[in-house]
């Protein structure tokens, strides 16, 4: 039930649901050699805080406990190899304004609750108090990608975390560009965008709903790529991993 589908789609949902579920698990599993062209990231010249300015600001106080890779010991990384500002992780609510069904399904899903789920909270807090917050980078690479990539997972971080409630959010999954072969959870997060122009320019800040509706091809480019689409997944036997969710837990109230 957790693969999200939009009300704007009318294809056969049941079978696609099963397929998408595999896909989603597939995203957490790596297979080497899959290459997706990464579009270049265009910083908006009007934005005072460019992506690289954000990254260097975070890097000043970040604990690089596990070496130069800021996201270790997790296997996930970003296309730039460095941090992504929190505002770029668009709230799922915004997507939900147009993709009503997808949002309703996702909100109840394991992905939508991956961070706030009480068992997870207990486990990750224990890890944090016993070993240190840096070790939770491994967990959060799957359970709360925005927390990892914003650089929030370091002692006394000042990064604001409005994204926590979204766990594995729409924009987190839909911004994944490729997998990196590093092992389980080894995926590559792109700079999130709402529109990707034909020339590869990635637009996010200030993009209005009307601009999305006026330029659906650019919106599709931003949200979909072969890695996420049916055909490329079906060719891959390695993705046939059983989805087990043995126990049902009570619903977590939406805040």
List residues near ligand HEC by CB under 6 A.
Answer: 4-6, 8-9, 11, 16, 19-20, 23-24, 27-28, 90, 92, 94-99, 102-103, 106, 110-111, 117, 119-120, 123-124, 127, 138-139, 141-143, 168, 170-171, 173-174, 184-185, 209, 212-213, 216, 219-220, 223-224, 228-230, 244-245, 249
Q: Tell me how far, at minimum, the Cβ of 60 lies from ligand HEC, in Å.
A: 27
Which of 171, 139, 160, 158 lies closest to 4 in space, CA to CA? 171
Q: Tell me how far, at minimum, the Cβ of 82 lies from ligand HEC, in Å.
A: 20
**CB closer to ligand HEC, 57 vs 66:** 66
**CB closer to ligand HEC, 61 vs 229:** 229
**CB closer to ligand HEC, 1 vs 213:** 213
Q: Measured between alpha carbons, how far is 34 from 97 in angstroms, rounded to an integer?
A: 33
Q: Tell me how far, at minimum, the Cβ of 83 lies from ligand HEC, in Å.
A: 19
Q: Tell me how far, at minimum, the Cβ of 56 lies from ligand HEC, in Å.
A: 26
Q: Measured between alpha carbons, how far is 142 from 138 in angstroms, rounded to an integer?
A: 8
Q: Tell me how far, at minimum, the Cβ of 179 lies from ligand HEC, in Å.
A: 12
Q: Tell me how far, at minimum, the Cβ of 40 lies from ligand HEC, in Å.
A: 20
**CB closer to ligand HEC, 9 vs 61:** 9
Q: Tell me how far, at minimum, the Cβ of 134 lies from ligand HEC, in Å.
A: 12
**CB closer to ligand HEC, 28 vs 201:** 28
**CB closer to ligand HEC, 94 vs 161:** 94
* Residue 211 CB contacts under 8 Å (≥ 6 apart), including other chains: 194, 195
Dihedral angle of Cα 49, 54, 56, 57, to the nearest 10 degrees: 90
Q: Measured between alpha carbons, how far is 10 from 101 in angstroms, rounded to an integer?
A: 12
Backbone angles phi, psi at 153, to 5 degrees: -95, 65
**CB closer to ligand HEC, 155 vs 158:** 155
């Amino acid at each position: 039930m957790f693969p999200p589908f939009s009300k704007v789609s009318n294809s056969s949902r049941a079978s696609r649901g099963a397929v998408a579920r595999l896909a989603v698990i597939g995203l957490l599993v790596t297979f080497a050699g899959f290459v997706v062209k990464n579009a270049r990231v265009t910083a908006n010249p009007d934005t005072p805080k460019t992506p690289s300015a954000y990254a260097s600001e975070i890097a000043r106080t970040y604990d690089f406990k596990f070496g130069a890779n800021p996201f270790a010991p997790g296997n996930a990384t970003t296309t730039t190899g460095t941090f992504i500002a929190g505002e770029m992780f668009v709230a799922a609510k915004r997507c939900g304004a147009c993709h009503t069904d997808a949002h309703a399904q996702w909100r109840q899903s394991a992905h939508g609750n991956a961070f706030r789920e009480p068992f997870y909270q207990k486990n990750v807090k224990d890890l944090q108090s016993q070993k240190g917050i840096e070790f939770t980078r491994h967990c959060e690479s799957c359970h709360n990608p925005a927390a990892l990539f914003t650089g929030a997972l370091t002692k006394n971080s000042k990064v604001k975390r409005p994204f926590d409630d979204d766990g594995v959010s729409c924009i987190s999954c839909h911004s994944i560009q490729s997998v990196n072969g590093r092992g389980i959870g080894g995926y590559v997060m792109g700079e999130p965008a709402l529109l990707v122009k034909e020339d590869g320019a990635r637009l996010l800040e200030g993009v209005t709903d009307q601009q999305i509706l006026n330029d659906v091809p650019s919106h599709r480019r931003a949200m979909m790529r072969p890695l996420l689409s049916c055909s490329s997944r079906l060719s891959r036997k390695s993705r046939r991993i059983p989805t087990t969710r043995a126990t049902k837990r009570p619903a977590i109230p939406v805040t």
